[in-house]
Structure 1
Amino acid sequence: MGNVLDSISKDNTRFTIFENNQVLTADQLNDLFNYLDVQTRTTRTRAIGVGIICGLEIGVLENKRLVLSKGTAITTDGDLLSLDFDQEFDQYEVFEDLNAKYPYFQLDTNQRIPLFELRNSQLVGAVPGLELASLENTTGTTFKDYVGILYLEDYDNDPDLCTGTDCDNKGITAVKDIKVLLVHINNVRTLLQSMPAMNKDYFKLEDIYIPRVKVSIAIDTFNELNASFNNVLSIKDDIKAKLIKAYQTCQTIIEDQFDNGDPTTGWSTLLDQHFTSGSSTSSQYVYDFARDISYAYNEMRESLFSDDMLCCPDVDLFPKHILLGLVRDASVKNPIVPFDIRNSTLIDISPIASTNFSTLLQPKLSLLRNIRFNPGTFIKRFNKRHIDLEYRHHFYESPILNINDEVNEFTRFCFMRLHSMITNFKVPTVVEVQNLVRGLKITPSYYEDAALGERSIPFYYRVNPNLPINLYWNFNANNRKKENQLLSYHSNTYSEVNQATLNPLNFNILKYNFFRIEGHIGFIRADVEAALNKVILENNLPINIQAVQVEKKLETIPPRPWFFPHLYMYEKSLKSTFIDRLDHADLVNDNLRAKDQSIPVTEFKTAKQNVLDNARDIGDPQFNFMSYRSAITNVMSATTNVKAQTSKYAFSNTAIPHDFILNADILRKTDVISGIYQETVIKKKTGLMLGNFMKDNPGLEHNGGVMRGGTFIIVYTADDQRVVADFMLPYASIDKDVIPNPPVYMPPIPLPTGPPIIPRFPIEDIFEIKPHYVKNFEDKIVPYVKEIDFDTKLTNRFNPKIAEIESKFDLKLAITNTKVDGISPQIAGFDQRLKDNSQLFNSVLTKDLRNVAVPNIGTVFGAKNLTNEVENFARNRKILEEMPLDAPGRDVIEKTVIESANDLTEKLNDQAVLGDQANSMVVKSILADVHSGTSLVQNLDLKGQANTIAERANTINRGFKFNR
């Protein structure tokens, strides 16, 4: 009997309407039956599906018996094959298919495929067969190498017209027996032709793979960078070929979408134009466009993959058989009830079963899974049924039951998206971006792990009213009429009301993990950085930016606000200390100047101010080390000149401030610090070259934006400082040495705005004038003892001191003599030298200072006797020296000193005195005492008079020629 659905004609699509008292014929009854049969079969195959609905798994037990689980299947001819109970087989027989002669069991040479029919010896009336356990030994095979077949033996049995009893024609019997067969895997090739060619369109096509852009770390020119992108764009020919094949494969589905027929010719022309534009700064966007095409194409290909769906399955696929898959290991929980699959009836098992066995017949237990199958190792892919995919007919659903994906509509949409992308691709020029109100823009989006339609629309797709890119970008948005709510650079051209689309950064952005950054290529680096920082700060965006240079030219890399604390702290401390010493010296100089107008204070102040003007931070762009060195040299020269004029002053309460300046090694230390700083800056700048930056920051990729928490890399050229490309890092690359507003270390002390700062001791006590006769006596005592006539009072002052020295020396000598007793002659010789030295000391000092007659110092100069004036001034000066500063009546004594000093200087300011060269040394000493005495005056009202007298003493002093 042939396939029912193969023979559908007007004879079995119509039937007779019966009437009362009508004589029914066989044709009328058969027409009605055939009509109903065809409708039933068609409903199964086209409205429900074909293949195994459930169960029907075959396996082998440890005792070498085969089992088949209950289940249901539908053939492509609409036959419903169903087993209500699990089956167990212990015998087999060679199956020859002599009745139905099913075409799938016949080879091209009219030979039959070797098949084995499985039987159960417990069935009533069963024909004895061979023991199933012997099949493996007989054939030299194993059960696991066999595939099970559920076969509906369908044929018409026409008995003889005459039988033993009569010759009445009783009609033809339609036989439909369900049989379980085995076929070896080597002989299953013909039967595999019955497997539906699922997803044939999907497997005809291949994915598009876009190579990565690999930039060499040795890159040094923009042409090399541009070549890195252009080398990848050779994928153009592969894209064109696969798009053409995709259209040809899906033409029956999509041809109605294109009014002008095959669009691939126009696509190829446009792709040639688009990929040619990769010779300029737009090459990175051409690369992005190629990636977009690959994503759109691959999504289209995936839409062709259906989940076991067949629309109007071919009747000849498997009209009378179902492939059950390979035999697998199995086990049973309870004995299996014998079941006659020919008439779907249970066999009486009371003679062979226990009393408890009948409980298996209860309906509620018949639904339990009695057989457990081991999947084995042949499972290569996951399936919802976890059963063999290669040798088993699964259930191939009708499209009405498989509507999770609107497959055909999505496929059409994908082709229209490709058409819109290729047609609308255009990279805006710098002039066009400048003319747009948007300029540089940051748009929230999703990373590449999201589908293309879920991401924001890139700015290199122009908005074409005749073929809107936003209409064909997202399938769900298209269905829900939300195409005007898609985020993009050009969103204001199609969405004039929705603020969430126009200004997405003002709304929730937590769901977005990527930010597109567009409208910056071709602009000046500094402007781009400023604009990006402004947008990032104003909108609190979780991204970082970094600018790197293509070329390895150190001089064109702009400095950053780098701050190195270890260098700044040391350098600040060094300069602050030096400036403090300059201030100290400046204070001393001012007071020296008040007493001696010859001190070059103005030169020092000018040099000091020059130091302050050039003492900038080493990181300050205006810091010039050579100017700073010159300023330091000048201030040291000025300090030397000042010090040369202070040799006559003794600094009693402090060290000489000028020596601190002259001995400072600030130049050498500043030079070292500056060198370290410059080397550090050079290293930082070197790291901002693209190749070097890649070595220090792996994972650099171009993606038209940056991930949340990542770093956006702006790439610019050295010659014109214009941005030519961008990359991203998926992590934050932050230069911790860049501090726009660094902390201020050791700020300078502000100058006082009120009265001058009073030091902790009187400034006059810092230094004092050395009387020349005292200095000469200390420096050259022997030459002057003959020239100076000590008076009795002075001699009495020396005798006790000398006696004290002799006493201490004699004591030490006695101790030494005691210790050296019994020591070697060398020590004894040393003792003798000590004694000789002692005698020498006594003979020189005692004899020369005590016994030599020293004439008294006279006070007659140029025939003028000034003894009274000198003694009067010395007496008043001595009283003032010993009087505390806050003593009552001090102002009276100060006035007396001024009067006596004035009287003395007027008497000394005489030509006769000035011409007395023999006594010039004594006069100079007296003048020095006058200068020192007037400096003791503290009363502000008397200061002017004291200074006048001191100036007069200096004038008289300069009138003498020093005579040694």
Structure 2
Amino acid sequence: MADPVKAVLSLEKLTSEYSVFERDQVLTEAQLNSVASYFDDQERLARVELLGVGCVGGLRVSIATGGKVRVSKGLGLTTDGDLLMLASDTLYDSFKPYDNTAPYYSRFYTGVAPNQTMLPVFELVREGESDVLKKPLATLPSALNSYVVVMYMESYELDHDLCSAADCDNLGIVATHTPRMLLVRETDAAALLGTISSLTDKASQLPVLVATRPQISGALTTTAALASLYLTACTTIKNALVNAVDELHKQIPVLTQDLFGGDPSPAWIAQLNSTLTSYSSNTSGIQYFYDYLKDLVETWNALRDALLDNDCVMCPDLMAFPKHLLLGALKAPATLRTGFYASPLTGSARTHLAHAHFLAQKLHVLINTFQRPANLSGADAVIVTPGRSELVSLEERAIPYYYAKTDSGFSLLASWSWLRSKRGTHTGITAYRAATLGASAAAQAPLTGQIGQYDFFRIEGHLGQNVDTVMDKLEAEIKARNLPFAVRAVLLHSSTGPIKRRPKIRYNDLHRIHKLFRAEVDTQLERATEFSKAFSEKVAEGAKGKLFPDEGTRATEAANTHGSFSKSAGNVRKALTAKRYSDFRADNTWASSHSEAQVTAANFKRQFGDIARTDYITALDTHLSNNHRQWLDWLDVLIDDKDKKADERVLLANYLKTHPGLEHYAGVLRGGTFVVVYNDSATVVADFMLPYRETEDAEDEADEPTLTPVVPDFIREGVKVLKPIEWRFDDLKTGIRDEWLKEINIQKDYQVFFKDSLGSIAEVVSKFNVGNVKDPGFGFVDTGDSLLNSLLEDLKGKANQLDKLRNDVASGKLGKEAEAAVKKQIVQYEQEIAKGVTNATQRMVDAGVSMAAGQPGANAVAEMGNALVKVKDDGAVKTAQAGLQTIANSAPQGSSNAAHAVANVVGIKF
């Protein structure tokens, strides 16, 4: 039996030479065939190596109505360079056997020669095509949906030589290439798939890296605790990177071999381990290392993505599917289908491959150009570099601070952005070290130009510096450059004591209320000073009119008391009228001066109460009794408490509770807040960012407006200087004498009474002379009448209680409600004293108590006068006036002198 016809694989053996013909040369078949074979091989190689292999487009399979197989128009290329094409959508309604009588194609056979077995294969017959061997698809050995459609290029050569013993007529060899549509079982199709391993497949084996995020909790209070969080995250990221880069050469050696001449991962891993070790022993500036590792993670993932996007195959396996393409399973057309493997020359594959090479090189540059900022020169420069946020790839952002080495053999600036390097615009990349890297003039001063294209601002060079230096620099830069973000300083500590950065003053509405009450206290003091002056002038006038004894001494005392009060009040007012709250708080002497002014005002009333009377609550009374001075202290407490709470809010632990979105980004988004974190040594140890503006709600302290106090015009009125009690009795004596003389002329039979009474009055006058009794006091008076004694004792008790209540009000220690109740009780006591004096006077008249000198009645009159002089309420004074007048009018002739005596003591006229 003759050998079976074998399928021809054109590229199985490439023709590397062909004959060049000469003139008059006799050509042989080998010479002619070499030319045809060479150009056929080159054409096929051009398809496979420069275009790609697999299903290019179309050729989609499905089961059509009636149990037919439908294949859409399309084309594909086999790895032997055969172009398989179906010019139009085609229906197949029958099949015929495709067995071992067909040319031998090794992919349709299983086992080892010579014991190979052919797979069950059936050829589809087009609808309407005549073929005696065709059968309906319904008669297939298995259900139609259990088959896979295979498009096959049947290529073979057939020798048609006819030879005999006498003659051999050479007809030559015929090469035949016939496309056929076949069915194979789904279980056999996997062996025919012939997948080619592309860079995409290799890239999918590379790990996807995630930069571990430090979980910043509210319990952080120390630099060590914060650094520990970042060191843990850095260690995790570093370990993941080490594992990843170790896989790069294993999976895609063609890439690393091209760029580095071998496996670069050992050097990379050594560098990463060394850097982590340095931070393990000294965590200063560890956020820079964390940012650097994030850069490497992003670059690695970008490299992986670029490789995944690169589905091209360079030099595919020519034996992968040399004569056939799988078009898909009939029950699931997307499966068991030969893909298309483009060459690096076609589509975007070339671009993706170039980008992947660039990113691999960039990874190498980043690993070899990182340097700890602590070892860099110019580390004290705090620089704001505009760029893009993490919403875009690392290649589109500004180059960070910590890339400083220049001995890597690559230009960092040229290795940063694929697109910019390809376009030749990489010198325009903004960077912390723009000048050192060779950036353009515009990139070296990016804040001088338009910044609308930038949505992020890198802020670097501040870690390890004093917080005041950093904040002053950033605030000045924001102001000078009109930068669209805010900056905040937060303390990493458990208490507010070490807070270094706070507003000079957190001026707010409490300060305005404080100003209002300072103006009120100032007004009261000015009014009290004016009243004190008026009081002293009234005393001086009374002294000039000789209304009281020792007039020169009393006038001098009044002037001195006013001077003392005016001086103390002036010291207080100097603090109260300060232009700023902080100036007021800086004066720690005003409180003692205010106390001195209160003592002086109280002495003023006490010293001159025997010669003066006021018709209303005076400015001195208001000064003594109001609580506004205490309100200033209370407002200070509220302001200090508000400041304390504001300080507590800038402790990192508390700040996190209020702003849980705090995140480290090595800069700040446009419109956001850059948060500088410093420790108890005022050293900046970290930074974070909020995506919104957050600043302390505190106004700058400005000069406060002047609130001019208005002093009433009547301030000098209502003060009356009276003769003292002992001098009033002289007037009483004169008045009584005139009355008695009238009575003597009318009633001669009463002259004995007048004589006795006149003697009594003389004795009373003598008793109350200046040289005898100046202050009868409130000692116990025994009048010989038990009821009168009781009435006088009651008056004494109420008068004493009245003094006590007024002192309570003047102390300023009462609350608002208590003070109102006490004032109400004062008025009640004044009414009761007025009525008590009337009752006691009536008793003296009824009992006929003698007012002669040395008699108890004289002391009783003085004691009633002392009680009545304490009454300030107009209603109570009128009550006493009406009661005494009623007694005087109704008493028997000669007995009304008691009522007149008491009235004259306190200056009551009727």
- Say if 1:430 and 1:523, in contact at 8 Å, map to a contact too: no
Question: Structure 1 146/771 Cα, relative in aligned 2: closer, same or farther at 3 Å?
Answer: farther
- Say if 2:521 and 2:629, in contact at 8 Å, map to a contact too: no
- Say if 1:525 and 1:723, in contact at 8 Å, map to a contact too: yes
Shift in Å, 1:277: 3.0
- Say if 1:48 and 1:398, in contact at 8 Å, map to a contact too: yes
For 1:179, the aligned partner's letter is R
Shift in Å, 1:629: 4.9
Indicate which of 700, 717, 729 corresponds to 1:740.
700
Matched, 1:445 2:445: no
**CA distances 1:15-55 after superposition (whole Å, capped 9, x unpaired):** 352645x6554334333322332232122222322222332
Q: Which residue of 2 aligns with 1:939?
A: none
Matched, 1:765 2:713: no
Question: Structure 1 150/651 Cα, relative in aligned 2: closer, same or farther at 3 Å?
Answer: same
Q: Which residue of 1 aligns with 2:92?
A: 89
Matched, 1:277 2:278: yes
Question: Structure 1 621/774 Cα, relative in aligned 2: closer, same or farther at 3 Å?
Answer: closer
Whole-angstrom distance in 2 between the partners of 1:566 and 1:433: 45
Shift in Å, 1:223: 0.6
Matched, 1:44 2:47: yes
* 2:483 aligned counterpart, secondary structure: coil
Shift in Å, 1:775: 10
* Equivalent pairs, count: 734
Shift in Å, 1:408: 4.6
Question: Structure 1 758/40 Cα, relative in aligned 2: closer, same or farther at 3 Å?
Answer: closer
Matched, 1:310 2:313: yes
For 1:682, the aligned partner's letter is K
Q: Which residue of 2 aligns with 1:5?
A: 11
Matched, 1:507 2:449: yes
- Say if 2:524 and 2:619, in contact at 8 Å, map to a contact too: yes
Whole-angstrom distance in 1 between the partners of 2:591 and 2:742: 54
Q: Which residue of 1 aligns with 2:600?
A: 638
**CA distances 1:325-363 after superposition (whole Å, capped 9, x unpaired):** 2336xxxxxxxxxxxxxxxxxxxxxxxxxxxxxxxxxxx
Question: Structure 1 585/843 Cα, relative in aligned 2: closer, same or farther at 3 Å?
Answer: closer
For 2:60, the aligned partner's letter is E
Extract unaligned runs of 5+ from structure 2. 1-6, 541-554, 744-841, 847-882
Question: Structure 1 220/391 Cα, relative in aligned 2: closer, same or farther at 3 Å?
Answer: same
Q: Which residue of 1 aligns with 2:614?
A: 651
Question: Structure 1 324/625 Cα, relative in aligned 2: closer, same or farther at 3 Å?
Answer: farther
**CA distances 1:566-603 after superposition (whole Å, capped 9, x unpaired):** 42343332222121111100112223334333121232
- Say if 2:888 and 2:897, in contact at 8 Å, map to a contact too: no
Indicate which of 106, 109, 124 corresponds to 1:118.
124
TM-score normalized by the length of structure 2: 0.73
Indicate which of 605, 608, 626 corresponds to 2:566.
605
Question: Structure 1 925/853 Cα, relative in aligned 2: closer, same or farther at 3 Å?
Answer: closer
**CA distances 1:749-784 after superposition (whole Å, capped 9, x unpaired):** 39xxxxxx99635x653423124479969xx99xx6
Q: Which residue of 2 aligns with 1:127?
A: 132
For 2:713, the aligned partner's letter is R
What is the 5 A alignment of 1:582-731?
582-594=525-537, 595=540, 596-599=555-558, 600-612=561-573, 614-615=575-576, 620=582, 623=585, 629-647=591-609, 648-652=611-615, 655-718=617-680, 720-731=681-692
**CA distances 1:481-518 after superposition (whole Å, capped 9, x unpaired):** 4443321111122448x431221101011111110111
Shift in Å, 1:639: 2.0
- Say if 1:618 and 1:674, in contact at 8 Å, map to a contact too: no
Q: Which moved more, 1:69-78 or 1:189-198?
A: 189-198
**CA distances 1:826-874 after superposition (whole Å, capped 9, x unpaired):** xxxxxxxxxxx9x99899433438666979x9xxxxxxxxxxxxxxxxx
Q: Which residue of 1 aligns with 2:478?
A: 536
What is the 5 A alignment of 1:53-202?
53-108=56-111, 110-120=116-126, 122-124=128-130, 126-135=131-140, 139=142, 141=143, 143=145, 145-158=146-159, 161=162, 168=169, 170-202=171-203
**CA distances 1:764-819 after superposition (whole Å, capped 9, x unpaired):** 53423124479969xx99xx689833559999xxxxxxxxxxxxxxxxxxxxxxxx
Q: Which residue of 1 aligns with 2:801?
A: none
Whole-angstrom distance in 2 between the partners of 1:674 and 1:794: 70
Whole-angstrom distance in 1 between the partners of 2:741 and 2:122: 154
Question: Structure 1 466/121 Cα, relative in aligned 2: closer, same or farther at 3 Å?
Answer: closer
For 1:608, the aligned partner's letter is A
**CA distances 1:540-585 after superposition (whole Å, capped 9, x unpaired):** 1111111111111122224435646442343332222121111100
TM-score normalized by the length of structure 1: 0.69
* 1:721 aligned counterpart, secondary structure: coil
For 2:700, the aligned partner's letter is P
For 1:420, the aligned partner's letter is V
Shift in Å, 1:625: 10
Indicate which of 372, 377, 389 corresponds to 1:427.
372
Whole-angstrom distance in 2 between the partners of 1:154 and 1:452: 53
Q: Which residue of 1 aligns with 2:810?
A: none
Whole-angstrom distance in 1 between the partners of 2:448 and 2:384: 12
* 1:556 aligned counterpart, secondary structure: coil
Whole-angstrom distance in 1 between the partners of 2:897 and 2:42: 160
Question: Structure 1 86/410 Cα, relative in aligned 2: closer, same or farther at 3 Å?
Answer: closer
Question: Structure 1 247/769 Cα, relative in aligned 2: closer, same or farther at 3 Å?
Answer: same
Q: Which residue of 1 aligns with 2:38?
A: 35
Whole-angstrom distance in 2 between the partners of 1:256 and 1:758: 96
For 2:530, the aligned partner's letter is L
Shift in Å, 1:611: 2.8
Shift in Å, 1:637: 1.7
Indicate which of 313, 321, 328 corresponds to 2:324.
321
Q: Which residue of 2 aligns with 1:393?
A: 338
- Say if 1:706 and 1:729, in contact at 8 Å, map to a contact too: yes
Question: Structure 1 575/526 Cα, relative in aligned 2: closer, same or farther at 3 Å?
Answer: same
Extract unaligned runs of 5+ from structure 1. 329-377, 379-386, 751-756, 796-836, 858-918, 927-964
Shift in Å, 1:420: 2.4
Q: Which residue of 2 aligns with 1:454?
A: 396
Shift in Å, 1:725: 0.7
Whole-angstrom distance in 1 between the partners of 2:76 and 2:408: 51
What is the 5 A alignment of 1:128-527?
128-135=133-140, 139=142, 141=143, 143=145, 145-158=146-159, 161=162, 168=169, 170-235=171-236, 236-255=238-257, 257-258=259-260, 262-278=263-279, 279-327=282-330, 388=334, 390-402=335-347, 405-429=350-374, 432-433=377-378, 439-464=381-406, 467=409, 468-495=411-438, 498-527=440-469
For 1:93, the aligned partner's letter is K
Indicate which of 11, 17, 38 corresponds to 2:21.
17
For 2:606, the aligned partner's letter is A
**CA distances 1:270-309 after superposition (whole Å, capped 9, x unpaired):** 2222112323321111111111111222222333234432
Whole-angstrom distance in 2 between the partners of 1:617 and 1:430: 50
Shift in Å, 1:234: 1.5
For 1:292, the aligned partner's letter is D
* 2:582 aligned counterpart, secondary structure: coil
For 1:514, the aligned partner's letter is F
**CA distances 1:156-210 after superposition (whole Å, capped 9, x unpaired):** 34468479xx985544443322221223433222012344545243133223322
Shift in Å, 1:411: 3.5
For 1:130, the aligned partner's letter is K
Identity over aligned pairs, percent: 26
Shift in Å, 1:212: 0.5
For 2:568, the aligned partner's letter is A
Alpha-carbon RMSD across the aligned residues, in angstroms, is: 3.9
Whole-angstrom distance in 2 between the partners of 1:75 and 1:659: 114
